[in-house]
Structure 1
Amino acid sequence: MERFASQTTLRPEAERADLLRRVEQFLFLEARLQDTHAYDEWEALWADDATYWVPANGSDTDPERQMSIIYDNRSRIGVRIDQLKTGRRHTQTPRSELARIISNVELVDQVDDEINVRANAFIFEDNLRGETLWAARNEYRLRIVDGGFKLVRKKVGLVNNHKPIFTLSFLI
């Protein structure tokens, strides 16, 4: 395992900087696909063994034993996308206008072809109910595949997940 947060001589600085730039570009792409409701393209970013998790009531919960806002395996991600594409999600009629900022991207570590990454996200949502601001601390596991990345795990830690969340019906 190679740790990125500490000073290391295992990976040259230029190589780390290039990897960080590539990871950031991938996260920016994912954000754009979410914001523009490009559901099929977003779904294609996921690996076959993926997990998409939005915990409730804190960030260190056990999704197998405690309630989550979202806890999807790869199959369930596909079902979620199919539901969004039907146009019958009443809280998304019309669709929310979304704009998100991804920042504070950190390479945490790398084990073989998988990279653990942290980033913050700020999402502006505008719909018929009004405007909502969402903030999250995200954790990602990305797998290097054919020179690009696939999402293996995404954990969206909403900073207000200890409060009631009434209408989270878009791709967070």
Structure 2
Amino acid sequence: MSVAIKEESPASAESLGALSPLELQHAVTQFLYMEARLQDSHAYDEWEALWTEDAIYWVPANGHDIDPERQMSILYDNRSRIGVRIKQLKTGRRHTQTPRSELARIVSNVEIVSVVDNEVKVHANTMIFEDNLRAETVWATRNEYKLRYFDGAFRLAYKKVGLVNNHKPIFTLSFLV
């Protein structure tokens, strides 16, 4: 399934400084909604295209303030590893995703924490409903993002997905969170 990414600059601004706080909030929220839609619809190539070359995608385990270089994480991917993860998902040979999970997520509590030059630090919460052959699961997350604005669009430079229950065993988390 191919999903087109709508390439519009926020309020046609050439820089983040040209946006009012309300315009920036709207543009950031719309970007996060689009990312959620791409994940839920398994639009892997389009989702992968959202990432910068120096990106970090991190899901900590056993707490939220761990050091991913020294302690175990559910995943800690750089840009190259994000690409490998996408290739694996697209093979159709991941038994936990055969058939693929049906996903629906709600993004809420979008808070702009800071804006420095062309980067926006954002916090948001997500509820992800997953339906598959095994069960129905609701995943709750507290996310941190660093969005980088260039060439008239936001890109993901950093995404930390803090599963609320990451202190418990996670049996199958085999989709994009």
What's the TM-score, normalizing by structure 2?
0.89
| Equivalent of 2:46 in 41, 59, 80 | 41
Partner of 1:82: 87
Runs of 4+ with >4 A deviation: none
Alignment of 1:35-114 (within 5 A): 35-114=40-119
Partner of 1:27: 32
Q: How far apart are residue 58 of structure 1 and its match?
A: 0.6
Q: How many residues align structurally?
A: 161
Structure 2 unmatched ranges of 5 or more? 1-16
Partner of 1:4: none
Partner of 2:138: 133
| Equivalent of 2:159 in 154, 160, 170 | 154
- Matched position secondary structure for 1:133: strand
C-alpha separation between the residues in 2 aligned to 1:130 and 1:158?
A: 18
C-alpha separation between the residues in 2 aligned to 1:81 and 1:135?
A: 23
What's the TM-score, normalizing by structure 1?
0.92
C-alpha separation between the residues in 1 aligned to 2:115 and 2:155?
A: 14
Q: CA RMSD in A?
A: 1.1
C-alpha separation between the residues in 2 aligned to 1:142 and 1:53?
A: 15
2:125 matched to 1:120? yes
What per-residue deviation string (whole Å, max 9, x for no partner) do you get for residues 85-109 of structure 1?
Answer: 0000000000000000000000000
- Matched position secondary structure for 1:122: strand
Q: How far apart are residue 165 of structure 1 and its match?
A: 0.0
Q: How far apart are residue 110 of structure 1 and its match?
A: 1.0
C-alpha separation between the residues in 2 aligned to 1:97 and 1:61?
A: 31
Partner of 1:7: none
- Matched position secondary structure for 1:171: coil
Structure 1 unmatched ranges of 5 or more? 1-10
- Matched position secondary structure for 2:45: helix
AA paired with 2:81? R
